[in-house]
Amino acid sequence: MNMANVFDYDIGIIGAGAAGLTVASGAAQLGARTLLIEKEDRLGGDCLHYGCVPSKTLIRTAHVRHMMKNARNYGLPEMDLPPVDFSEVSSRIKSVIDIIQKHDSVERFCSLGARVEFGNAEFVDDHEIRLNGNRISAKAWVLATGSSPFIPPVQGLEITPYITNKEIFSLDRLPVSMAIMGGGPIAIEMAQAFSRLGTKVTVIQRDGQVLSREDKDMADALRSIMASEGVKFMLNAEVTKVRDLGSERELTVKCSTKTETLKAETLLVATGRAPNVSGLNLESAGVAYSQRGIETDERLRTSRKHIYAAGDSTGKYLFTHAAGYEGGIVVSNAIFRLPRKADYTNLPWCTYSDPELASIGLNEARAMERGMKYTVWTEKFSANDRSLAEGEREGMVKMLLDEKERPLGIQILGPQAGELISEWVAVMNGGVKLTTLAGAIHPYPTLGEINKRVAGAYLTPKIFSRRVRRGLRFFFNLKGRACGPDLK
Ligand SMILES: Cc1cc2nc3c(=O)[nH]c(=O)nc-3n(C[C@H](O)[C@H](O)[C@H](O)COP(=O)(O)OP(=O)(O)OC[C@H]3O[C@@H](n4cnc5c(N)ncnc54)[C@H](O)[C@@H]3O)c2cc1C
């Protein structure tokens, strides 16, 4: 930093994942002198390299194999499927990452006006960092360092080989068997994908349901679909000890009533995430943080108001779209100087199992926690013509309405749920009335009709009520039913 208290950069961003890249692109394009620092040798962060992109690519491959295995359900001859060569699957994953990587390249960010540096940044004080032996200052900083797999303190784990999301997409062969510690989205997506590819999978989950953030009925429905495909679940179960047996790992699992041992070739640890806060010397910058993440206010300012945090490092909503949204909030506050608060009321998310489980707004569990009164309306995919044609009849839409009959939240367990929730993103953000949704023409036959149908489910009893029938009879002299009992 020079003596005139002029900073080297207007804004410095640490971490080039979804959050950091959003801030860097926005700030640079708005004319701020921008520095983006990444500790790995490529941009993109977890989502591109070890998260969303490889997992969704793997899930698609597993889905294709599942369809081939179930060809008979589609009137096709049964097939004898040769075993999966996982090195081919990981090459496909790598090829998809490589394409997207071009979008997240140093050249692209340079063309936008941001300087990119690689290395581990460490704060010297609240405006200055040390990077590769140099000191660099910025007027504002953004901590966008993401998160890493949380490794639980289980006896023997430190000396037993295991994998996490960092290794799972580049395995050189398909494991014969896999024990998965955890029952969150990563565990569930990987369990189904590997099971469909031919691995014998057991999920060990501490809670009484998988996907603890979701309503139990929806999570249970998904679990039983996965169980019918062959995934084994141990609920209310805790891994207390692991042991390396050479070609296999042995897990001691304490269930509610007994203790069991289980052997698997591969152990996947998917027990949540820990924020990346170490090594940054945040103490020198005066930034407060806990094990759960970097503390921020609603404007995403840390305890030092010119240092912001966004994305997984805050430990709040661990999604790429949340990280991107928070990146935008930081740009508003730090560059535009327009005070803008983060609002997660209408944050959607999706677990990309098959069927997918997507959600927006409040579910029953969260509405009950808040002591809110609500009604529940459902519509099953088995009554949707397109679902039947697709052979995807499992699942339902569950809509919660508040006392004024406005949507509080929607959950969708079903085919393409992640796409279907987008209509509700528009409805909820735009304050669209249910009557508008129910009256809007949707193309037939589409899965999307289910959204119109669930809105209609709430309106139908009102429109076709006895009172309305009586009124119409009275005013227009309608003669009533032509078949079946007359309901008046
Ligand atoms: C298996 C898996 C599947 C997922 N699937 C989905 C999905 O389908 N949809 C979804 O929305 N989300 C998904 N996620 C979550 C998503 O990946 C994260 O929420 C998202 O990557 C968070 O973005 P971020 O910018 O906060 O962090 P990251 O993308 O992790 O980026 C942080 C960057 O900071 C760098 N960094 C860390 N410390 C330093 C330092 N000291 N100096 C310099 N650089 C540093 C890291 O190397 C990294 O590149 C998934 C995650 C996993 C693990």
State the distance from the centre of ligand 1 to the C-alpha of 33, rounded, in angstroms.
24
Residue, of 464 and 249, whose pLDDT is higher: 249
Residue closest via CA to ligand 1's atom 39 equals 145
What is the Cα gyration radius of the chain?
Answer: 26
Residue closest via CA to ligand 1's atom 52 equals 51
State the distance from the centre of ligand 1 to the C-alpha of 94, rounded, in angstroms.
17
Question: Given the CA of residue 327, which atom of ligand 1 is nearest to it?
Answer: 25
**Per-residue model confidence (pLDDT) at position 2:** 45
pLDDT surpasses 80 at 325 = yes
228-275 per-position pLDDT tens digit: 999 999 999 999 999 999 999 999 999 988 999 999 999 999 999 999
Q: What percent of the chain has pLDDT over 70?
A: 98
Q: Is 278 in the pocket of ligand 1 (CB under 6 A)?
A: no
pLDDT surpasses 80 at 5 = no
DSSP letters of 317-335?
---HHHHHHHHHHHHIIII
State the distance from the centre of ligand 1 to the C-alpha of 146, rounded, in angstroms.
5
Say if residues 381 and 414 touch (Cβ distance below 8 Å): yes
Using pLDDT thresholds of 50, 70 and 90, give the confidence band for residue 3.
Answer: very low
Using pLDDT thresholds of 50, 70 and 90, give the confidence band for residue 488.
Answer: low
Question: Given the CA of residue 310, which atom of ligand 1 is nearest to it?
Answer: 26
Residue closest via CA to ligand 1's atom 48 equals 45
Using pLDDT thresholds of 50, 70 and 90, give the confidence band for residue 350.
Answer: very high
pLDDT surpasses 80 at 215 = yes
pLDDT surpasses 90 at 38 = yes
Average pLDDT in the 421-444 region?
97
Say if residues 359 and 349 touch (Cβ distance below 8 Å): yes
Residue, of 1 and 438, whose pLDDT is higher: 438
Q: Is 18 in the pocket of ligand 1 (CB under 6 A)?
A: yes
Least confident of 1-10, 231-240, 318-327, 328-337: 1-10
Q: Is 23 in the pocket of ligand 1 (CB under 6 A)?
A: no
269-283 per-position pLDDT tens digit: 999 999 999 999 999
**Per-residue model confidence (pLDDT) at position 130:** 98
Task: Indicate the burial class of 369 (C-beta count within 10 angstroms; 0-12, 13-18, 19 or more).
Answer: exposed
Distance between start and end Cα atoms, the chain: 85
Residue closest via CA to ligand 1's atom 31 equals 17
- 274, amino acid identity: A
pLDDT surpasses 60 at 77 = yes
Average pLDDT in the 189-194 region?
98
Average pLDDT in the 329-343 region?
96
**Per-residue model confidence (pLDDT) at position 169:** 98
89-146 per-position pLDDT tens digit: 999 999 999 999 999 999 999 999 999 999 999 999 999 999 999 999 999 999 999 9
State the distance from the centre of ligand 1 to the C-alpha of 147, rounded, in angstroms.
6
Least confident of 78-82, 301-305, 379-383, 460-464: 460-464
Q: Is 116 in the pocket of ligand 1 (CB under 6 A)?
A: no
**Per-residue model confidence (pLDDT) at position 4:** 47
State the distance from the centre of ligand 1 to the C-alpha of 48, rounded, in angstroms.
8
Q: Shortest CA distance to 365 belongs to which of 212, 168, 478?
A: 212
pLDDT surpasses 70 at 1 = no
pTM equals 0.96
Interhelix angle 320-331/18-29, nearest 10 degrees: 30
Q: Is 350 in the pocket of ligand 1 (CB under 6 A)?
A: no
Say if residues 333 and 309 touch (Cβ distance below 8 Å): no
Average pLDDT in the 58-84 region?
97
Using pLDDT thresholds of 50, 70 and 90, give the confidence band for residue 487.
Answer: low
Pocket test for ligand 1, best of 38, 116, 145 (most atoms within 8 A of CB): 145
Question: Given the CA of residue 321, which atom of ligand 1 is nearest to it?
Answer: 11
Question: Given the CA of residue 311, which atom of ligand 1 is nearest to it?
Answer: 26
- Interatomic CA distance for residues 23 and 329, integer angstroms: 9
**Per-residue model confidence (pLDDT) at position 15:** 98
